[in-house]
Amino acid sequence: MQPIIKSSSEIRKNHNSIAEICRANEIPVLLTRNGEGDTVIMDLETYSRREEDLAVAERLLAAERARMVGTRGYSVDEFQNNMRRAINKGAKTSGE
């Protein structure tokens, strides 16, 4: 979906209607000044969702970079077994 484009004067005149456009369409609204792109606004829920998506993408990219340089990864089974061992070790240590 393409962003909606409005002039910056629109935000001063019609804040409520632009905020509703953001919420209803769940996309940013681009504001222009003198015909050039200037500012982007979006509703808080859409912003939060995009930030979460970006954080996940950054973690995936970091993991892929680590994999490409040879950092050892773990399968789900290996991870679960390691966690069980750590939990059991912790339980034995705290029970002493």
* 52 vs 22: CA distance, rounded Å: 18
pLDDT at position 42 is 92
Same domain, 54 and 23: no
What is the tens place of the pLDDT at every residue in 35-44?
A: 888 889 999 9
Same domain, 35 and 57: no
Assess whether pLDDT exceeds 80 at residue 3.
Answer: no
Strands 4-7 and 29-33: parallel
Same domain, 51 and 13: no
Would you say 40 and 31 are in contact if contact means Cβ atoms under 8 Å apart?
A: yes
Domain holding 13: CATH number? 3.40.1620.10
* 8 vs 2: CA distance, rounded Å: 18
Report the predicted TM-score, pTM, of the whole model to 2 decimal places: 0.59
Domain that holds residue 28: 4-42
Same domain, 27 and 58: no
Which residue shows structure tokens 């290996």? 78
Same domain, 9 and 35: yes
Number of domains into which the chain is organized? 2
Tokens for 10, please give them.
């629109």
